[in-house]
A = this chain, B = another copy of it.
Amino acid sequence: MRSTKSMSVMIVENNSMIRDAYVRLLRRDMPSVTFIECDSSTAAVSTVTADQPVLMVILNYDLAGGQSLKGLGVILRHYETVPVVLVDAPENAQIAVNALNSGASGYIVKSMRSECVLQSLRLVMLGEKYLPSFCAAGHALGAPEALGADGTVPGLGTPIGTLSPRRRQILTMVAAGAPNKVIARALSVHEVTVKSHLRVIFRTLGVNTRTQAARLAMCAGLGLPETSMVYDGHSAPPTESLH
């Protein structure tokens, strides 16, 4: 248990300005904690072994086109006891779900107020998991054709991660409720091709209907409705901070 020697929190971010800002923010709240700063995910991976931090805060999760992703994968696989929190823009919502799904402990949106950030981090350090209301309702399905871009992420930890980008793209549209014909039109391929892909997808996921596949995909964060989170929840300004 290493007693209460010198608890450390690791901050991973390549931009030193931003990294320092976060360290200062956190230090105000946790004066007794030593902060380990890493400017890359590779540095983080090598450092996490030596100093076993009680928390890892990873900024710009999607930076460097998935490089930090691999790093996170390594960390999550080998040091599962370290709570990992991602800080990123709300646009990358599905990335968050994937990460949470893979073992991360929290996802924080950049634009959140600093108080909220701190509270979330405390929650995670207490062993909880935190993610902003992801299962939010969203009835407008939107035109599935507009889903074109992939935007998905390997999806560590689930069989979905073993799918090719193309198949994940198709699975995403299936999860969005699009029929094969629409998917085919959106991808400019023949419907048979979509079906052909789906056969592989079903086999990979171990299901035999599109609804079951959509179910798994949604649980992994793919094709979530409009990912229009309530993240920053500026809806109910509580007049003033309490404590």
The quantity of this chain's copies bound in the complex is: 2
Size band of the interface chain A makes with B: 35 or more
Q: Which of A58-66, A192-200, A229-237 contacts B (4 or more CB under 8 A)?
A: A229-237
The smallest C-beta distance from A53 to any residue of chain B, in angstroms, reads 10
On chain B, the residues within 8 Å of A105 by CB distance are 233, 236
The smallest C-beta distance from A3 to any residue of chain B, in angstroms, reads 8
A4 at the interface (CB under 8 A from B): yes
| Pairwise interchain contact B219-A135, C-beta atoms closer than 8 A | yes
Residues 153 to 195 of chain A near chain B (Cβ within 8 Å): 157-159, 174-177, 179
A210 at the interface (CB under 8 A from B): yes
Q: Which of A10-18, A36-44, A67-75, A114-122 contacts B (4 or more CB under 8 A)?
A: A114-122
In angstroms, Cα B2 to Cα A206, docked, is: 57
In angstroms, Cα B141 to Cα A105, docked, is: 24
Residue of B101, B125, B215, B238 touching A126 (CB-CB under 8 A): B238
A128 at the interface (CB under 8 A from B): yes
- A79 (CB) vs chain B CBs: closest residue: B236
